[in-house]
Structure 1
Amino acid sequence: MPVRLGQVDYLNCLPVYYPLEKKLVPCSVPLEIVKGVPAFLNRLFIEGRLDVTPLSSIEYARRPDETIILPGLSVSADGRVESIMLFSRRPPLELEGCTVALTGSSATSVALVRILFAYHYQVEASFTVRPPDLEAMLREAEAALLIGDDALVAATRVREQGLPLRVIDLGAAWKEFTGEMMVYALWTVRREFAVNHPEETAALVQTLAAAKAEGTRRVGELVREARRTTGLPEEVLKDYFGLIRHDFDEKYRRGLLRFYDYAYKLGLIEERVNTLHIWGETVG
């Protein structure tokens, strides 16, 4: 049976999956790759229909006993990220009592918006979930959250056309608020799968690490591929691939636990997370 591996169908995962899809790294385990937006992959993973996936980091905190983090991998940024964006008709501090439309494609970014509004901006707004269509979202809200490629495309259009919207990078806002890295997703394996298939899990850890290293060496190819699929300008894509990080060392973990602390205080997760269960370190 192949390992059922999720792939977030956004550019932020391209550096890891491009080498896999182009067979630039060897893989000793058969893979069945399933693509989708984060919320879709989260649901499949929770339902047991994926074995390994980039999981929205807030979802790990909701089920840490069922989930193990694979080492050395994340979707993160140290400040500006360019793909987690709030588009607003007014500054965030002036959104008191306003409606903010949130994309249904995300989980971590939705939690991040709520945390920043509560603790950084200290503004109370009403939140509603809508499909990721900026014009439609702003017909019924003063501000709208977009993520991933949707955010990149919309931000580029706003800037090129000079549209009367403020574009707030929530990665930069988190950095301003906490001084920490922001971890948006973690590669995770279902605990049951890891316990029953330790050799396959270990092999996949090695394969993903090799893919990440290979992708890092092929930024020019990534830019060309991303330009082909999105039509975004080359300078936007070069900037973006320079911002997105895929490591998971101590400073990433510190930022993640800080995020979980605020999520717990705001009631977005039921229990405080103090320990991260990582394959090969605390488990495996």
Structure 2
Amino acid sequence: MNPRARLGDISFLNCAPIRWGLADSGAVHDVDMVSAPPEQLSALLLSGDLDISPISVVRYLRHAEELCLLPGIAIGSDGPVGSCHIVSRDPLEALDGRVVALSAASRSTTLLARMLLEDAVGVRPEYRTLRQDVDTMLRTARAAVVIGDDALRVRAAAPAGLTVHDTGAMWRSWTGLPMVFAVWAVRRDFARERPETVREVGAALVDAVARARAHPARVAAAAARGGRARALGEPVLLDYFRTLDYSLGERQLAAVQEFSARAAARGETVSPLPARIPVHGG
């Protein structure tokens, strides 16, 4: 008997609907789930300690030869995302030569923020990568790039003197495309050895999204009972979960291609993705 697939789970609120859906269907009992921040999950997947996992789009682009995508599922937005921000004491146009703190917890959003600041806004800040803590970051910087639950809390109640710039909204305004922050990927060796398992896990994840979409109030209520999310309250979480886009259709794949081309032009990846992105079963 094959062992159960080892499945990554981002330990932020952006994956709370998927966790809820997997529990609702019972599929959570068919996998060994590992919850961790996105950078840790990416490292575990690439080291072979996970079989399937959400992974930042930047990490995927840098290791596309080792991975293929699960069809139909990602984490993104078609406009504001709510949890990936540039928070600034100054107008973005005034950040030329100023210090911008980048979150050590992020690859995709920090690269996206640099693209937006340098290529869309037209400034050249000085960057420092720091542990994500908004107050600490802004002690030595005029702006900070923050992601996840911390960013969601800043959005819900921005501290005095700070302006919150949603990177999903900025990317949409700049390119006309949705933004894909993370994708679900499977190691190619695992996909070759256990294709049916990969199909089953992929189907369970897509089903989990559909279940969560059908019961948004229940998902928000469940999330609001957990840890620091309690302070946000159900209305904020309900709005956030409705904002997130978990699809990976033609527009999202076009957005990944666009991001890939811009990243490659900056030397952040070796080369742009091929015209046909490797998708499991595709």
TM-score by length of 2: 0.94
Kindly state the Cα deviation for residue 234 of structure 1 after the two structures are TM-superposed: 2.7
Query: CA-to-partner distance for each residue in 1:131-184, whole Å, 9 max, x for gaps?
Result: 1111100001110111111101122231xx5x1111111111101111100000
Q: 1:26, 1:155 → 2: CA distance?
A: 33
1:28 to partner: Cα distance:
9.8
- Report if the CA contact (8 A) 2:93-2:123 is conserved: yes
Aligned residue number for residue 17 of structure 1: 19
Q: In the alignment, is the contact (CA less than 8 A) between 1:45 and 1:52 conserved in 2? A: yes
Equivalent in the alignment of 1:179: 176
Q: CA-to-partner distance for each residue in 1:78-112, whole Å, 9 max, x for gaps?
A: 01111001110101111000111111111110110
Partners of 2:91 and 2:236 in 1: how far apart?
Answer: 24
Q: Please state if 1:107 is matched with 2:110.
A: no
Asked if the contact 2:101/2:129 (under 8 Å) is kept, the reply is yes
1:8 corresponds in structure 2 to 10
Partner of residue 68, structure 1: 68
Provide the rounded CA distance (Å) in 1 between the counterparts of 2:209 and 2:234: 21
1:219 aligns with one of 213, 216, 220: 216
- Name the aligned partner's letter for residue 10 of structure 1: F
Contact in 2 for aligned 1:29/1:203 (Cα 8 Å) = no
Q: Does 1:147 align with 2:178?
A: no
For 1:167, the equivalent position in structure 2 comes to: 164
| 1:196 matches 2:198 | no
The answer as to whether partners of 1:29 and 1:200 remain within 8 angstroms in 2 is no
Cα distance in 2 between the residues matched to 1:38 and 1:120: 26
Instruction: Say which SS state the counterpart of residue 128 (structure 1) adopts.
Output: strand
User: Is the contact made by 2:87 and 2:144 (CA closer than 8 Å) also made in structure 1?
Assistant: yes
Alignment-derived partner of residue 85 in structure 2: 85
Output the CA distance in 2 between the equivalents of 1:260 and 1:118.
17
Q: Distance in 1 between matches of 2:208 and 2:21?
A: 5
Once residues 152 and 3 of structure 1 are traced to their aligned partners in structure 2, the CA distance between those partners, rounded to angstroms, is: 31
1:221 CA displacement: 1.2
Q: Is the 8 A contact 2:257 2:272 kept in 1?
A: no
Q: Distance in 1 between matches of 2:206 and 2:28?
A: 13
SS in 2 for 1:199: helix
Identical columns (%): 32
Residue in structure 1 matched with residue 51 of structure 2 by the alignment: 51
TM-score w.r.t. the length of structure 1 is 0.94
Counterpart Cα distance in 1 of 2:174 and 2:62: 24
What CA RMSD, in Å, does the superposition of the two structures yield over aligned residues?
A: 1.4
Following superposition, the deviation at residue 29 of structure 1 comes to 7.9
- Counterpart Cα distance in 1 of 2:206 and 2:116: 32
Cα displacement (A) at 1:199: 1.6
Matched residues in 2 for 1:210 and 1:12: separation?
16
Contact 1:4 1:33 (8 Å CA) reproduced: yes
- Structure 1 CA distance for aligned equivalents of residues 151 and 258 of structure 2: 25
